[in-house]
Amino acid sequence: MTQYAPQGFKMLPTVVKNLLIINVITFLATVVLERYGYVNITSMCALNAIPTGRFRIWQLFTYMFMHANIEHIFFNMFALWMFGYVLENFWGSRRFLFYYLVCGIGAGLCNLLVPGWGITVGASGAVYGILLAFGMTFPNERIYLYFLMPIKAKWFVIGYAAIELMEGLFRADGVAHFAHLGGMLFGLLLILYWRKHPFSRF
């Protein structure tokens, strides 16, 4: 099993830093421009369900940088930094960015298949993909649940996936649980491909 030593790692590598900046700027721009009625960024950039007639192909990319409120963006960005900086240092920036985008777009595609869903925003699908990658790459690293209870990363990831599946099947709470699972699914497929083809262009 792979272990890591964070002493030699950058705490804010290039891709993670730029993703944090882009997400925060987009959130602030959305709040300001929509509050004063200049432009409805959400209608253009959020992921709209196909039956609404407002779906556009670019939304599979832009929705990842939209967030509903401060709590939404804070927890997504915190998780992106917490797990993402380790993976970017370990994989390299190019591979990490490709993985992040694949998970985010894959999450959006999966959520388009959910009946009755309206608008989707947030980096959660890509972040859940990062969480899965951390658990697969560093399965025995300990994560402190609620900053108190240590749990191995592999069990943390499995537990989160199970919770998302149960919530998606049995609870209508306005959260895109199947987008989260979709990000993990596409992340899993990509990691398995890389393990089978270790000498890919990355």
Structural domains for the chain: 11-196 (1.20.1540.10)
Q: Is 124 considered catalytic here?
A: yes
Mean pLDDT of 58-79: 96
Distance between start and end Cα atoms, the chain: 21
Name, of 9-13, 115-119, 124-128, 159-163, the range with top average pLDDT.
124-128
Kindly report, residue by residue over 167-186, the tens digit of the pLDDT.
Answer: 888 877 788 899 999 999 99
**Confidence band of 9 (pLDDT split at 50, 70, 90):** low
pLDDT exceeds 60 at position 3: no
Q: How far is CA 158 from CA 43, 146, 192, in A?
A: 34, 17, 17
Q: Burial, 15: exposed, middle or buried (Cβ in 10 Å; 0-12, 13-18, 19+)?
A: buried
What pLDDT is stored for residue 185 in this prediction?
A: 97
The residue-averaged pLDDT of 92-110 equals: 97
From the list 124, 177, 197, 200, the catalytic residue is 124
| Mean pLDDT value across residues 80-92 | 96
Q: DSSP letters of 123-174?
A: SHHHHHHHHHHHHHHSTT-EEEETTTEEEEHHHHHHHHHHHHHHHHHH--SS
Reported confidence tier of residue 125, pLDDT bands at 50, 70, 90: very high
Look-up: residue for tokens 């596409």? 186
Q: Which of 43, 72, 180, 197 is catalytic?
A: 180
Looking at every residue in the chain, the average pLDDT score rounds to 90
User: Is the model's pLDDT at 145 over the cut of 80?
Assistant: no
- Bigger pLDDT: 47 or 42? 47
Residue 202: the pLDDT is: 56
Q: What is the pLDDT of residue 186?
A: 98
Q: How many helices and strands (H and E) does the chain possess?
A: 8, 4
Residue 42 in tokens: 């959400």
